[in-house]
Amino acid sequence: MKVAVLGTGDVGRALALGFATSGHTVTVGSRDRNSPQLRELLEAVGPKATGGTFAEAVATSELVVLATHGVATPEAIRIAGIPAFAGKVVIDATNPLEFHPEGPPSLSVGHSDSLGERIQALLPDAKVVKAFNIVGNPSMFRPEFPGGPPDMWICGNDSGAKATVTGILHEFGWPSVIDLGGIDGARLLEPLCLLWVRSGFAIGNFNIAFRLLRK
Ligand SMILES: NC(=O)c1ccc[n+]([C@@H]2O[C@H](COP(=O)([O-])OP(=O)(O)OC[C@H]3O[C@@H](n4cnc5c(N)ncnc54)[C@H](OP(=O)(O)O)[C@@H]3O)[C@@H](O)[C@H]2O)c1
């Protein structure tokens, strides 16, 4: 599959590497197609990935991954060009984090709305699926934990898009995918990121992920 990964941070790097290693063709998008961070990322990912602007990446892809700074994601989408997303599956890995000089981050939106819903509203002709936002980037591809693989939670309005994303998650080493239903499930998944961050600080270990115990 031809995949656009918008974002040159740690998540963009981890997911671009995951898609390339899984045999997909990846274009990584940045505001600046000549940015040193993009160049460095492409060197790390290898020949299966090329770089471009946000717009170039989306235009050449069948599936788009949003791995941009959470609060800036609507701006990144506008830069890419809203019509270019029409009909595409869009994986939203973002969290609307606000950082503070002291103390843990908070969410800029929550409870009765979410960034996932705002992205879907901005892209009415695309099929947005929230995924990957509840785990740290080092565990996004082939997560390895002594107790077995963690669970991944997803949500989105289009069942076909969620089936596509579930298949990708299986390829990435996530055998258990829990579908919360519509994109409004992002109201629950985005706060889980804060639970992940604060749990990491509480136990002094960020090699952590969530799992639903069953019996
Ligand atoms: N870090 C993690 O482990 C983790 C885990 C789960 C979810 N997340 C979420 O994943 C997303 C990416 O996180 P990250 O840590 O990899 O990177 P990040 O630093 O949050 O975002 C980097 C990307 O955002 C773009 N960006 C920044 N400001 C922008 C603006 N004003 N307009 C348009 N684009 C802008 C940058 O574009 P340029 O390339 O042009 O600089 C860059 O590609 C975030 O939403 C984060 O909350 C992170």
Q: What is the DSSP string of 154-199?
A: EEES-HHHHHHHHHHHHHTT--EEEE--SGGGHHHHHHHHHHHHHH
Ligand 1 pocket mutation pick from 5, 6, 11, 78 by most atoms within 8 angstroms of CB? 11
Query: 73 C-alpha vs ligand 1 centroid, how far in Å?
Result: 8
Q: Is residue 11 part of a domain?
A: yes
Would you state the pLDDT for residue 125?
Answer: 98
- Ligand 1 pocket member 53 (CB < 6 A): no
Q: Whose CA is nearest to atom 38 of ligand 1?
A: 30
The CATH number covering residue 186 comes to 3.40.50.720
Q: Is residue 211 part of a domain?
A: no
Ligand 1 atom closest to Cα of residue 10: 16
Query: 132 C-alpha vs ligand 1 centroid, how far in Å?
Result: 13
Query: 115 C-alpha vs ligand 1 centroid, how far in Å?
Result: 14
Q: Is residue 214 part of a domain?
A: no
Q: Which domain holds residue 119?
A: 2-203
Q: Is residue 212 part of a domain?
A: no
Q: Whose CA is nearest to atom 29 of ligand 1?
A: 72
Q: Is residue 80 part of a domain?
A: yes
Q: What is the pLDDT along the chain (215 residues), one digit of tens a residue?
A: 999 999 999 999 999 999 999 999 999 999 999 999 999 999 999 999 999 999 999 999 999 999 999 999 999 999 999 999 999 999 999 999 999 999 899 999 999 999 999 999 999 999 999 999 999 999 999 999 999 999 999 999 999 999 999 999 999 999 999 999 999 999 999 999 999 999 999 999 999 999 999 99
Q: Is 85 in a helix, a strand, or coil?
A: helix
- Ligand 1 pocket member 81 (CB < 6 A): no
Ligand 1 atom closest to Cα of residue 132: 6
Q: Is residue 104 part of a domain?
A: yes
Q: Is residue 208 part of a domain?
A: no
Q: Is 2 in a helix, a strand, or coil?
A: strand
Whether 179 contacts 115, CB under 8 Å = no
Our CA angle for 95, 99, 101, nearest 5°, is 170
Paired sense of beta strands 97-98 and 49-53, if any: unpaired
Domain count, the chain: 1
| Per-position b or e across 187-214, b if 16+ CB within 10 A of its CB | bebbbebbebbeeeeeeeeeeebeeeee
